[in-house]
Every structure is written in C-alpha cells, then in structure tokens.
A and B are shown apart, each in its own frame.
Chain A
Amino acid sequence: GAGVSQSPSNKVTEKGKDVELRCDPISGHTALYWYRQSLGQGLEFLIYFQGNSAPDKSGLPSDRFSAERTGGSVSTLTIQRTQQEDSAVYLCASSGWDSNNSPLHFGNGTRLTVT
C-alpha cells in the first residue's frame, strides 16, 4: 500500500513568510510524528500525535511552530515568520496502534530553505 506522503518535497521561502508542510500518514496509523533533520544535527523531535490524546508538543522549538492533525489522519506543520535557522528537512512518520512495537514509517521529507 501507499507509504507516508509529504508535500511539498522542496520549499524555498523568504525570511519572514509563513509555510505549511503537509503529511499524509499510512491509512489506519494512529501515531504521527514530526521530526527535523538538520545537517550534522541528527533527528530532532518536534511533535507527536497519538490517537485522540493531546499531542506531545514538547519538541517544538518556539511558538512560531504549530501542528495539527485533522480527523486523526492528515497533519499540517506550520512555521510562522520563518527564519534562516528553520532551514532543514522536515520528516513525518506514522506507526500503528501498538506504537511501542510497530516500526515508524517515514516519508521522504520536505526540504525547507529560508533565504
């Protein structure tokens, strides 16, 4: 079946503009994650949705970042007033109901460049 789909694959934006990144998880997956991958920085956790529970937002780096997940499926990560340090690859992943044992399936990411 289809994997995790992210769009756009590349986004170039000017400093100060808002951007929206989209993630379509695997159908039926209840857990959804956003991570940020910067060169030489590894994978930085941003936010985690699990079913109908309140999301774990502890990784969001500032109040310019927000995310929502509508209908337990599609998720949108929004970055307001983008800064150059926001440039990175933003990765979305989803997993099944037994999130402790089922593997995360990653999308190919959105490469964000802030000029």
Chain B
Amino acid sequence: GNSVTQMEGPVTLSEEAFLTINCTYTATGYPSLFWYVQYPGEGLQLLLKATKADDKGSNKGFEATYRKETTSFHLEKGSVQVSDSAVYFCALKNQGGKLIFGQGTELSVKP
C-alpha cells in the first residue's frame, strides 16, 4: 500500500543553518507529493507541492524536488529562521485516493 516515511525529529538547528528533512514514499502509480507545516498553536497548512516527477515545489524559501528514481521528496531550506520552528509533514496522494501523511518532523531553530 501507500506510505510515507520521514526522518525522525526533533531537529535542532541554529539560525541561518541549512535544513534538510528527508522524506521517502512507497506508492503505486504516480502520486502527487506535498509538504504541510504546523506552526505552534496553529492548524496544518500546505507549504508546497509537486504533482509529477522532476517537479520542484517551493514556498517561503523552502524547496522540495519530486524524485521518482529514489522515491523521495526531501525538504530543504538554505537559511532557517527562528520563525520556521514547527512540525513538518510529508504527504502523498494518489489519483482519486486519500492523502497519506508521514509521522511528522519537529524542527526547532535557536537564535
């Protein structure tokens, strides 16, 4: 079946450090891939998405590239800020199917 695996957290970084949060998936067909973010005290919201292989999703300085050959969608940011502290969820969705989330990765950025 379909599944998403993320690197375990918490991840603690200093401000302006480089961020990578790994995400790999297992799916039949050609899923769409997403990153959602949950800031403290807020609901989940979409951060970025990619709907086909080699697409790059980007938003707020974050990027992720849909790699079919490695079944990955790693999240990256070149210089994190304290305000990026949140829980990040990788997710996939197959045609007509439900959205499946990974277990989430907590990021804590220290000034």
Contact of A106 among B32, B43, B95, B96 (CB under 8 A): B43
| Interface residues on chain B, size class | 20 to 34
> Which one, A10-18, A41-49, A68-76, is touching chain B?
A41-49
A108 to B40, CA, bound (A): 12
* A20: Cβ under 8 A from any B Cβ: no
Contact of B103 among A42, A48, A56, A59 (CB under 8 A): A42
- Give the chain B neighbours of A42 by CB distance below 8 A: 89, 101-104
A4 to B45, CA, bound (A): 12
Interface residues in B14-53 (C-beta closer than 8 Å to A): 32, 34, 36, 42-46, 49, 51
Whether A43 pairs with B46 at a CB distance below 8 angstroms is no
Kindly count the residue-residue contacts between A and B in the assembled complex, taking CB atoms under 8 Å apart: 52
Residue interface mask B59-95, A partner, CB < 8 A = 1: 0000000000000000000000000000001000101
Whether A45 pairs with B98 at a CB distance below 8 angstroms is yes
* B109: Cβ under 8 A from any A Cβ: no
A45 to B4, CA, bound (A): 12
- Give the chain A neighbours of B104 by CB distance below 8 A: 42-43
> Which residue from chain B places its CB closest to the CB of A107 in the assembled complex?
B43
A48 to B46, CA, bound (A): 18
Contact of A45 among B42, B44, B89, B100 (CB under 8 A): B100
* B99: Cβ under 8 A from any A Cβ: yes
Contact of B43 among A41, A100, A103, A109 (CB under 8 A): A109
- Give the chain B neighbours of A108 by CB distance below 8 A: 42-43
